[in-house]
């Protein structure tokens, strides 16, 4: 590229980046600050621990059934472990969202969570023969759990604000006072849910699923997926962490989808969803960071080699910040474009390869920082074909980065030469 062309494209990039920082960032900031958004985000984050541990039970079951015979006897027990964790994820979501609501709106934490859990049970379940169906507490009830907890919390907050509670005389211990303080609002919440399900027998879960299903199935395609990643990464290169905002929207959906995939895998049914948290973890790190590290290690620039060494372990655990801010990639006219393109291309390829059946779908939720190769192998239930994505993404990243990296390297080498000649 001639110097003139380069400087024109640089200033264009700078203008775009400046616009994003000054106009887009504050708007996103406001969105992220929104109390309901925060409640849902924090609430969903709260259940991840339970989901991941539940996934380990699923892994034991899958490996026991297919690969490691010595684990097979543990199968039924592992299944039980899975069912009581991932299998009733709705219940945990109800607790977690209620808790997040309490923290956000300054209600008593324990009371809000207890009433939220009770409300969810009353809204979704009926006791027959001393049993309740766990199907009503699982992934299909996840959105019901979110809505139920928000409603329950809102009623409690309303009562607190309007001072609708039974007052206790001074000298009563705070814990007892707290219970009585929420007696009225709790009664309202429970009665409401009781009327809906136990009295009127309305199937809320099916209704909620019916309302949201078209929205989600519309979103579940390769174009939305690629778009989500391109937009997300454009935000990164202006130094905004997109996960907190985008995940607030996609998180509940992808969590539900991986839970549904797990259920399908156990039932021996075809696995429904491509878009899962595990796929996201591969998309975000391999094409952009693995390939860049490779180029950095082979660079003549000592600085880059050193940075690559320092960043190796974080990148392995899916932390890209040392590269994003260290090279830096953010606000870097040479590297910001390939960053976005490599991840966008990886998103497109990953979805496509999964859709044509070359690569398996994810059925297990692993901790988000699980290194990509392990994510690809364990997350798919021990299917080595998952590693195809890692290889493909690495090659895509390498192909896209190479020309830009060479230009960037050249500019740095020239700067070094200039400094040396000035000295």
Q: Rounded to 5 degrees, what are φ and ψ at 131?
A: -130, 150
Q: How far apart are CA 271 and CA 342, in angstroms?
A: 28
Is 25 near another protein (CB under 8 A)? yes
Binder to another protein among 310, 355, 384, 391 (CB under 8 A)?
Answer: 310
Is 49 near another protein (CB under 8 A)? no
Q: How far apart are CA 112 and CA 149, in angstroms?
A: 9
Binder to another protein among 117, 262, 285, 307 (CB under 8 A)?
Answer: 307
Stretch that binds another protein, among 10-18, 177-185, 326-334, 413-421 (CB under 8 A): 326-334
Binder to another protein among 37, 42, 134, 294 (CB under 8 A)?
Answer: 42
Is 314 near another protein (CB under 8 A)? yes
| Burial (Cβ within 10 Å: 0-12, 13-18, ≥19) of residue 256 | buried
> DSSP 3-state assignment of 251?
helix
Instruction: Indicate the residue among 194 and 368 with the shorter CB distance to another protein.
Output: 368
Instruction: Indicate the residue among 100 and 363 with the shorter CB distance to another protein.
Output: 100
Binder to another protein among 32, 132, 178, 204 (CB under 8 A)?
Answer: 32
Instruction: Indicate the residue among 60 and 289 with the shorter CB distance to another protein.
Output: 289
Binder to another protein among 52, 244, 353, 385 (CB under 8 A)?
Answer: 244
Residues with Cβ < 8 Å from 79, sequence gap 6 or more? 57, 61, 266
Binder to another protein among 296, 327, 376, 389 (CB under 8 A)?
Answer: 327
CA atoms within 13 A on the CB side of 380: 25
Gyration radius from the chain CA atoms: 25
CA angle 270, 275, 279 (to 5 degrees): 105
Is 19 near another protein (CB under 8 A)? no
CA angle 222, 205, 134 (to 5 degrees): 100
> DSSP 3-state assignment of 252?
helix
Q: Which of residues 129-158 bind another protein (CB under 8 A)?
A: none
Is 371 near another protein (CB under 8 A)? no
Give residues in contact with another protein (CB under 8 A): 25-26, 28-29, 32-33, 42, 45, 236, 239-241, 243-244, 307, 310, 314, 317, 319, 321-328, 330-331, 368-369
């Amino acid at each position: 590229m001639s110097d003139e062309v380069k400087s024109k494209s640089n200033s264009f990039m700078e203008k775009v980046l400046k616009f994003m920082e000054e106009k887009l960032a504050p708007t996103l900031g406001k969105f992220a600050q929104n109390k309901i958004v925060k409640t849902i985000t924090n609430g969903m984050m709260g259940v991840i621990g339970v989901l991941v541990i539940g996934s380990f039970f699923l892994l034991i079951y899958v490996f026991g059934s297919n690969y490691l015979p010595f684990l097979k006897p543990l199968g039924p027990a592992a299944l039980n472990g899975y069912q009581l964790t991932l299998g009733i994820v709705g219940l945990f979501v109800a607790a977690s969202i209620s808790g997040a609501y309490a923290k956000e709106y300054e209600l008593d934490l324990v009371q809000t969570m207890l009433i939220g859990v009770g409300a969810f049970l009353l809204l979704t379940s009926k006791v027959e023969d001393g049993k309740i169906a766990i199907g009503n507490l699982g992934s299909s009830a996840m959105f019901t759990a979110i809505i139920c907890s928000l409603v329950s919390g809102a009623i409690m907050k309303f009562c607190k604000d309007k001072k609708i509670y039974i007052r206790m005389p001074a000298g009563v211990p705070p814990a007892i006072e707290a219970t009585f303080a929420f007696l009225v609002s709790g009664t309202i919440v429970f009665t409401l849910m009781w009327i809906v399900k136990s009295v009127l027998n309305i199937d809320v879960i099916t209704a909620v699923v019916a309302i949201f299903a078209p929205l989600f199935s519309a979103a579940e395609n390769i174009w939305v997926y690629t778009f989500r990643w391109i937009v997300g990464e454009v935000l990164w290169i202006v130094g905004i962490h997109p996960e907190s905002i985008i995940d607030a929207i996609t998180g509940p959906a992808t969590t539900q989808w991986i839970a549904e995939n797990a259920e399908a895998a156990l039932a021996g049914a075809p696995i429904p969803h491509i878009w899962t948290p595990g796929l996201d973890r591969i998309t975000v790190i391999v094409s952009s960071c693995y390939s860049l590290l490779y180029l950095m290690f082979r660079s003549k620039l000592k600085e880059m080699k050193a940075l690559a060494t320092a960043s190796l372990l974080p990148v392995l655990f899916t932390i890209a910040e040392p590269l994003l801010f260290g090279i830096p990639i953010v606000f870097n006219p040479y590297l910001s474009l390939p960053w976005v393109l490599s991840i966008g291309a990886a998103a497109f390829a990953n979805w496509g390869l999964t859709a044509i059946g070359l690569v398996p779908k994810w059925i297990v939720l692993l901790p988000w920082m699980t290194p990509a190769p392990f994510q690809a192998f364990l997350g798919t239930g021990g299917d080595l074909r998952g590693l195809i994505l890692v290889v493909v993404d690495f090659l895509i990243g390498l192909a896209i980065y190479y020309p830009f990296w060479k230009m960037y390297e050249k500019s740095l080498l020239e700067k070094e030469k200039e400094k040396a000649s000035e000295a």
